[in-house]
Chains A and B, each alone.
Chain A
Amino acid sequence: MIFNLLLYISLAVFTFGLIYKISTWFSRRIGISAKQIPTSERVSAAVKGVLGTIFSGKILTLIKVFILDVVLQIRILKEDFLRWLMHMLIYAGFMLLLLMHALDNFISEPLFTDYYSTINPFMFLRDLFGFMVIIGIGIAIYRRFILKVPRLKTSAMDHYAIIILAVIMLSGVLLEGAKITSYTEYQIMVEDYADLEDEDEITALESYWVQNFGTVSPNVQAPFSEDVLSMGKDLHEASCMDCHSAPQWAFTGYATAKIIKPVALALDRVGTSTILWYIHFLACFIGLAYLPFSKMFHIFATPVSLLANAVMEKDKSEPANIATRQVLELDACTHCGTCSLRCSASPAFDALGNEYILPSEKMTFLKTLVAGKKLSTRKLSAIQEGVYLCTNCDRCTVVCPSGINLRELWFNVREDLVQRGFPEPLVLSPFSFYRGLNRENISAEDYARPLTDANRAVAGKFEQVMDPSTPISFKDREIVELNQLPSTRTFSYCFGCQTCTTVCPVVAEYENPQETLGLLPHQIMNCLGLGLVEMASGPRMLWDCVTCYQCQEHCPQNVEITDIFFQLKNLAVKNAGKVADESSPDLEAA
């Protein structure tokens, strides 16, 4: 009764969750490109897209991808054999257990007329499949906690996935072991199927089962006489054999039975099998009910992502479908860390400590962002830096075992974030090159806004300090932050010949360069000579510098001008960050 009630509740939650999650694929929005498209349009575009693909030549691509990437998971194999083995063991073992064991009423029994869970090959197979999953879980634990794969982060969701699987599997094995040894179970079975009256017969069968089937009896103990065993064997053959293969075939359960043998009677007395039975089923029901909300939902989302990405193309596919796909891709992410392992910008994570630089962590964050969570400024600035600090090398997209098109996702999210008005100094670096190449995908106004914001932020108090009416402040004469590299000190060799400014191609671009650039290269060197670091680190010149090194190459005094510019830029970025932190520590950004 309770069993059925719980089963139906968990099934209902699971079904509701499944429908809810799939509905979010159509209702949630990621980034700039999805803003204008209503849910209804996305649903109809998806239906049209799916039907259109199925009834076209692309169906062959879908079949190929389904076999290679979904069933055989070649993408994981290409990356790492151990990982593939781990995933195959868990995935194959679990699916087979689900079909043969969990759904035996619906699948195994109608399919095999002689199906019985305690008869071979079913008894052996059940243990084999369970054993596969347990080995797989073992490898997962080894990889995450002992091998320590670089940049593989373990979140609460990863812990949950491992724990729920482990509880289901281990409780199953323990349950089997406890049942093998259980005298209570034995008695119930004898009453139901053997119906023995005679004391000698009862003892004989019991002895036979103690001897051969691992039952632990309070009444009889080995060694037994040949006569008793042979009588027990006859009784066994008459009443039990049809339904029981030798227990050794259930190797995990039998091994457990052997281990718990010394305490088996005590365990039986407290009803251990019943307790384990409840644990096993409750864990299964929890796993089932929570599946759509957990990482395990990738069982559904990842194949869809792999198939969708195999047939979709950036400029040819319906934008409504791309918007939908990008939301479902978040569910397809298994947080496996392949992207972060291969990420070209990953050293910046080591150096700056911002974990959002790693693609796998950005994905985790995006899941909460699309769910509509609000962002603190601190978090926004961290995620913005992480999303922008990307070389667009596409490696994450190439290696993702779930086939997620991360390239397009990053572009979309990046634009959304930098449009929120929180200045991001990284937009003033070559990281913007890719954005420049894609400027035609962004409106002119949106394209300019983040640049204006960032330019204002890195300029700091430049306009103020340049105002002729403000007294010059020498308070920053000690250039601690600029002292990291010896090149910085070379400004003191400057004798003001202005060669740097003369050869600068950027200066040559403007009719009135000082107006646009704030300060010219030689003036920046002069500022440093006077200790006016704040002034030197504020002009537009630094960010318009094309780093062609003409100035440095031609300087008769070997002043390392371009390298000093880099240092000044680093300083300006640092100061812009400090100002932002002080002015709005807890401001909520929409």
Chain B
Amino acid sequence: MKVPLIWRQLKKPVNEVIEDIIMKYALFLGCNIPSRVEQYDFSARAVLKQAGVQLVDNRDFNCCGYPMRNVDQKAFLFSSAVNLALAEKAGLDIMALCKCCFGTLKEAEHLLKQEGTLQKEVHGLLAQRGLKYTGNIQIKHFLWILYHDVGLETLKSKITMPYKDFKIATHYGCHALRPSKITQFDDPVAPTIFDKLVEVTGAKSVDWTRKLECCGAPVLGVNDDLSMSLTKKKLADGKKAGAEYLCSACPYCHLQFDTVQNMMVSQNGNDPLASILYPQLLGLSMGIDARTLGIGMNQLDISGVTSFLESGEENAE
């Protein structure tokens, strides 16, 4: 019989109960995930449910403003500000799955702390939509929440099928790491949280020189030669370090390593270094089934991951 939630809450120490209540976020999916990387949405929800994090969807969220930064500051800042104001209205902190959304929202938060004509205009536009932003919420990335709010200990306790002899190259993603003064994600020169999150699953995070470099996605469609060259160098470096898979936690990086790499592979015939999304990696080790995690939804085949799970033999069948 299932123990009622309230009873489980009462049996816990007060601190944990409060923590449980606090772990509630407005989920910010952005534009790429619902249309092109749905598996990130599915797998993140599945692992967060296990980790006890509540998510609130908000249909009114719009583009974070990232693609507008090249073109118009006001369009970028207002797009971001609408989301911040909506989350504030709902009284919830934001959880971003996309590193570019995260970085852009953080940048907007930073800009809106200052005063100037641009800020005044943006506040005016917000008022026209009946919104207001005072800076009373926090913007966090999915990985940060798993590391700081949920904690490695809790995650470890949920892992039922750890990986064995499995080498992963973590890709941090530029817009979460830098500018570190604004994003405050991790140490910009020697970050560790993603590696620790990977290692909690039993996999080994390999050291590689291009770990903190750009994936190439920001200039895809603008300068494809440059974009793909950056990707190619990263992939070669990851392979050199002995990684079996890349791991990312951003739809842009993922699309670059998955869809774009797939295009590159069909052109040059190289062996791919496929990318697995972190919640897919974590979810499998938590015993969540591959279907829920959308393992088959990646363009490059990552079904081989399950063979590294400790009880992998049965699972692979």
* Residues of chain A whose beta carbon lies under 8 Å from any beta carbon of chain B: 150, 342-348, 350-352, 389, 391-395, 407, 425-437, 439-440, 451, 484-486, 505-506, 509, 543-550, 552-553, 560, 562, 566-567, 569-570, 573
Contacts and interface: CB of A to CB of B under 8 A. Distances in A.
Contacts of A553: 177-180, 188
A546 B74 CA distance: 21
| Smallest CB-CB A-B distances: 8 pairs | A432-B221, A436-B221, A393-B31, A549-B178, A436-B220, A391-B31, A430-B67, A394-B35
Contact of A548 (B116, B125, B178, B222): B178
Contacts of A451: 222-223
Nearest to B210: A505
Contacts of B280: none
- Which secondary structure characterizes the binding site on chain B? helix
Contact of A433 (B73, B78, B220): B220
Contacts of A342: 59
A392 B255 CA distance: 14
Interface in B20-47: 30-32, 34-36
A484 B119 CA distance: 9
Nearest to A447: B224
A507 B210 CA distance: 15
B229 interface: yes
Given A350-B78, A552-B179, A440 B263 contact: yes
Contacts of B68: 348, 389, 429
Interface in B173-204: 174-175, 177-180, 188
Contacts of B116: 484-486
Nearest to B103: A549
B65 A347 contact: yes
B179 A485 contact: no
B73 A347 contact: no
A319 B30 CA distance: 31
A573 B71 CA distance: 6
A429 B76 CA distance: 12
- Which secondary structure characterizes the binding site on chain A? helix
Interface string B133-176: 00000000000000000000000000000000000000000110
Contacts of B111: 485
Interface string B107-126: 00001001011100000010
B67 A435 contact: no
Interface string B218-254: 1111111011011000000000000000000000100
A544 B226 contact: yes
Given A451-B222, A546-B219, A433 B67 contact: yes
Contact of A544 (B59, B100, B180, B219): B219
A347 B174 CA distance: 25
Question: Of residues B30, B221, B226, which shows the largest number of chain A Cβ atoms within 10 Å of its Cβ?
Answer: B221
A431 B67 CA distance: 6
B105 interface: no
A440 B116 CA distance: 45
Contact of A350 (B31, B117, B125, B220): B125
Interface in B245-278: 252, 255, 259-260, 263
Nearest to B33: A393
A426 B67 CA distance: 9
Nearest to B128: A350
Nearest to A562: B179
Contacts of A569: 70-71
Contacts of A544: 219, 222-223, 226
Contact of A573 (B66, B72, B117, B177): B72
A484 B230 contact: no
17 contacts: A348-B72, A389-B71, A391-B31, A391-B63, A394-B35, A431-B67, A436-B260, A437-B36, A439-B221, A505-B230, A543-B219, A546-B216, A546-B230, A547-B174, A570-B72, A573-B71, A573-B72
Contact of B222 (A394, A543, A550, A562): A543
A429 B36 CA distance: 19
B79 interface: yes
B62 interface: yes
Contacts of B229: 509
B114 A505 contact: no
Contacts of A392: 31, 35
A543 B69 CA distance: 12
A505 B213 contact: yes
A548 B62 contact: no
Nearest to A399: B59
